[in-house]
Structure 1
Amino acid sequence: MLSARIATMLLFFASGASYATWGVHIPTIKAKFGLTEASLSLAMFAIAGGAIVTMKPLGRWVAHSGSARASVLGALGFALCTAAILAMPSFVLLLPALLLFGITNAAYDVAMNAQAATVEAHCGKPIMSGFHGMFSLGGMIGAAVGGALIAAGVDPLAHCAGMAAITAAAALWSRTRLLADHPAEPASAGKRGRANRLLLILGVLAFFGLVGEGAMYDWTAIYMQDVVAATPYWVGWGYAAFSGGMAAGRFAGDALRARLGTERLLAASGWMGFAGIALAIAWPSTAPALAGFALMGLGAANLVPIFFVAASRLPGVSPAEGIAAVARLAYVGLLVGPVIIGGIAHASSLRFALAVVAASVALIAVAGPRQLRRAETPG
């Protein structure tokens, strides 16, 4: 059991580090192909679009293959695509490469989360948030190492190939240590219909949670610069405060879920995120804004792990299909969240736009616990 848990943690860490490797090389890609902001947006949309469009069939594939096998194959495919991105000779070839990058990332993501749900079920105690904490830690370390390698003049293709080799090695090491999924119970049409309705509700709640998370990633620096009027040194700390809160909240999330229960933790998370954004809006100075963004990170940290666990336990669907259904709407929220906030900010102000983020997490705090009770009640 311990070896399966360590192997799954390693898969989450490698996923976060690999995605961060892509993130730090976005400027490299823009410079290599001479992209405008519009062309770069198209490239980034190819990744998200590939993931969203294929999420449902990928969920079925993971359920059919088993999360252990699918995690290894997904990680190997993702590693190959990570290595290939900067090897593309033209923007025309880059787009399909990024589309495959998004598809393999989605396959890897659904499979490792389904495996995490299987490991948690075997352990008999909450451990899902810790896995997501390893993803956050991998992202932070991957970004830091990537920045250092860029500063040292390391060839970007060599960097991506090296990260791909690490991800592939993690997948191959994990291959014999991951657990077989529990056999899916036969489901009546009525039970499956109820599960699909609940998955839609959980997915909508995850959408609102990821709208807020996406907004934090893209708009904290702008808020610190334009609204708080922070000095240049402190502008980037808004993002760092939110990311640090996310990582801390995820590593503490399992113990909190065991102590408080899923419903109370979800409500507390939503209200904490609301309080954080409200603080940053009401008191637009450097220290209060940073404290508010850190609180939002703490609040947002366990939303996705909670929704994924709930989706993986619904009678009538396999864990992989349940997670894929919720993840699909969550990814849409992450994609459109920054756009929605930008549009609202353009029409009114960024402070008002962030008030919409506060409202979205408050909605989760109010409506989420009741929906979790419905998901946990046999139909």
Structure 2
Amino acid sequence: MSQPNIGRWAVAAMFATNGFVMGAWAPQIPLLLSRHGISNTALGLLILALGLGAVGAMLFAGRLIQSYGSRSVARAFGLATAPALPLVVLAPNLWLLTPAMALMGALIGCMDVAMNANAVEVERRLGRAIMSSSHGFWSLGGFVGGLGGSYVIARWGAEPQALMVAAIALATVLLAEPKLITDAPHPTAEKPAPHALLPRDASLWILGFMALFSMVPEGAVLDWAAIYLGRELGADIFRAGLGFAGFAAAMAVMRFAGDRLRNRFGAVRTLQISGVISAAGLLGGALAPNDIVAIASFTFAGLGVANMVPIMFSAAGNHPGMAAGAAISTVTMVGYAGILVAPSTIGFVADHIGFRATYAALAVVLLVVTALAPRVKAADGVKPL
């Protein structure tokens, strides 16, 4: 097997590890309520600390990649991420839990940026897309982490689960990191102003907001579909949960098929088709006469949303005049910053105009992304190594 192909599977393992840690973290969340005697509001603030840690560290990761290359940064933060979950789970009080959660978010966020930058390097060496399937491995890792993590917690408890997750993550990173594509530091075409972290390239910011607009519908289905299905369409508890389950399953399957579609049709056409499918799915959910149609519509939307963000990361990694790590960190930061405020914003809007109108409005947002699809043309380009 050639070195680029070996590197392709190594970076896939890094994506799977990152998703595995996040998936294993999910069943730990409700346990914090009883362990620390906190309210749902306090828990929400703790989760916000994790998200702020991730977003705040993403531009820092971009600067590190410029100086040391994506492989070195992915390796360092992959190793550092492994023990992050035990630090959170074993924190004895809120004074230590809060910084532990912010630290976990920062480590996972930095690893996220670095592994995406390394995936761009693999795409350049192979001359074909691998970003969508890389994100598919993240989804697969999240599924295994969530399912397996829930079982271990139920059988042996939270602390053993966290330690097992750390051991598995550490072993996977140690096996994968020697095989990652070795890349040189990523110098920028234009030297940034002193102390400037944020790039001034307007087209890169547009790409970032396209990523934001593509991520928000995912959060809308994750956080609110069950409430919409139950409250407005009369679904029982089981069927209400199928809204996001179908959406997530469709995303995972389509991400593994996404690279083949991109290699055949190109990034722009694939994004256009994906945008139309996702918008149609959300509109179908908004207009659904019953819960069955809404669940099917959300599942259909997942087919479209699946490959939108991976395409934008590839476009950012090949953005003219920008280092891959710096460009990806900016787009990632904008996208994930939107995810932090989206759940509460969507809930506020839905309280005033209803879920049907909210999902219809998000369908229009996805059509805006579709109209801007020519801006991801760089995803098909290969910059000099």
TM-score computed with the length of structure 2 as normaliser: 0.93
The answer to whether residue 4 in structure 2 is matched with residue 20 in structure 1 is: no
User: Which residue in the other structure is 1:10 paired with?
Assistant: 13
User: Which residue in the other structure is 1:165 paired with?
Assistant: 167
Cα 1:183/1:65, change in 2 over 3 Å: closer
CA contact (8 A) 1:185 1:315 kept: no
How many angstroms apart in 1 are the aligned matches of 2:380 and 2:125?
18
Aligned residue for 1:324, secondary structure, equals helix
The answer to whether residue 233 in structure 2 is matched with residue 231 in structure 1 is: no
One-letter amino acid of the structure 2 residue matched with residue 271 of structure 1:
V
User: Which residue in the other structure is 1:338 paired with?
Assistant: 343
User: Which residue in the other structure is 1:176 paired with?
Assistant: 178
- CA deviations 1:74-108 (Å, max 9, x no partner) are 11111121121111000111000001001101111
Aligned residue for 2:178, secondary structure, equals coil
Q: Percent identity?
A: 34
- CA deviations 1:161-202 (Å, max 9, x no partner) are 111111111111122211122564662479xx9982221110
Residue number among 26, 39, 48 corresponding to 1:45 in the alignment = 48
Aligned residue for 1:176, secondary structure, equals helix
Query: What is the CA distance between 1:254 and its match in structure 2?
Result: 0.3
Residue number among 298, 303, 316 corresponding to 2:308 in the alignment = 303
How many angstroms apart in 1 are the aligned matches of 2:8 and 2:21?
20
Aligned residue for 1:19, secondary structure, equals helix
Greater alpha carbon shift after TM alignment, 33-42 vs 181-190: 181-190
Query: What is the CA distance between 1:377 and its match in structure 2?
Result: 8.9
How many angstroms apart in 1 are the aligned matches of 2:160 and 2:312?
37
One-letter amino acid of the structure 1 residue matched with residue 162 of structure 2:
C
What is the root-mean-square deviation of aligned Cα atoms in Å?
2.1
Residues 146-161 of structure 1 mapped to structure 2, 5 A cutoff: 146-152=149-155, 154-161=156-163
User: Which residue in the other structure is 1:85 paired with?
Assistant: 88
CA contact (8 A) 1:342 1:353 kept: no
Residue number among 250, 253, 260 corresponding to 1:255 in the alignment = 260
How many angstroms apart in 2 are the aligned matches of 1:304 and 1:167?
25
How many angstroms apart in 1 are the aligned matches of 2:85 and 2:322?
31
How many angstroms apart in 1 are the aligned matches of 2:327 and 2:167?
31
CA contact (8 A) 1:129 1:254 kept: yes
How many angstroms apart in 2 are the aligned matches of 1:247 and 1:9?
14
How many angstroms apart in 2 are the aligned matches of 1:68 and 1:194?
23
Residues 1-379 of structure 1 mapped to structure 2, 5 A cutoff: 1-152=4-155, 154-181=156-183, 184=186, 187-188=189-190, 196-367=201-372, 369-373=373-377
One-letter amino acid of the structure 1 residue matched with residue 201 of structure 2:
N
Structure 1 stretches of 5 or more lacking a match?
A: none
Cα 1:374/1:166, change in 2 over 3 Å: closer
How many angstroms apart in 1 are the aligned matches of 2:202 and 2:381?
14
How many angstroms apart in 2 are the aligned matches of 1:266 and 1:106?
25
Cα 1:120/1:376, change in 2 over 3 Å: closer
Structure 2 stretches of 5 or more lacking a match?
A: 193-197
Query: What is the CA distance between 1:248 and its match in structure 2?
Result: 1.2
One-letter amino acid of the structure 2 residue matched with residue 370 of structure 1:
P
TM-score computed with the length of structure 1 as normaliser: 0.94
How many angstroms apart in 1 are the aligned matches of 2:379 and 2:258?
20
Cα 1:81/1:123, change in 2 over 3 Å: same
Cα 1:244/1:377, change in 2 over 3 Å: closer
CA contact (8 A) 1:209 1:333 kept: no
Aligned residue for 1:181, secondary structure, equals coil
CA contact (8 A) 1:341 1:354 kept: no
How many angstroms apart in 1 are the aligned matches of 2:54 and 2:148?
26
How many angstroms apart in 2 are the aligned matches of 1:84 and 1:194?
34
User: Which residue in the other structure is 2:195 paired with?
Assistant: none
CA contact (8 A) 2:52 2:105 kept: yes
One-letter amino acid of the structure 1 residue matched with residue 215 of structure 2:
L
One-letter amino acid of the structure 1 residue matched with residue 250 of structure 2:
G
Greater alpha carbon shift after TM alignment, 72-81 vs 304-313: 72-81
Query: What is the CA distance between 1:376 and its match in structure 2?
Result: 7.2
Cα 1:284/1:139, change in 2 over 3 Å: farther
One-letter amino acid of the structure 2 residue matched with residue 337 of structure 1:
A
How many angstroms apart in 1 are the aligned matches of 2:42 and 2:75?
33
Greater alpha carbon shift after TM alignment, 141-150 vs 33-42: 141-150
Query: What is the CA distance between 1:37 and its match in structure 2?
Result: 1.2
How many angstroms apart in 2 are the aligned matches of 1:194 and 1:163?
36
Cα 1:183/1:75, change in 2 over 3 Å: closer
How many angstroms apart in 1 are the aligned matches of 2:26 and 2:79?
19
CA contact (8 A) 1:130 1:253 kept: yes
Query: What is the CA distance between 1:316 and its match in structure 2?
Result: 1.8
CA contact (8 A) 1:214 1:338 kept: yes
Cα 1:261/1:213, change in 2 over 3 Å: same
How many angstroms apart in 2 are the aligned matches of 1:374 and 1:107?
23
How many angstroms apart in 2 are the aligned matches of 1:121 and 1:95?
40
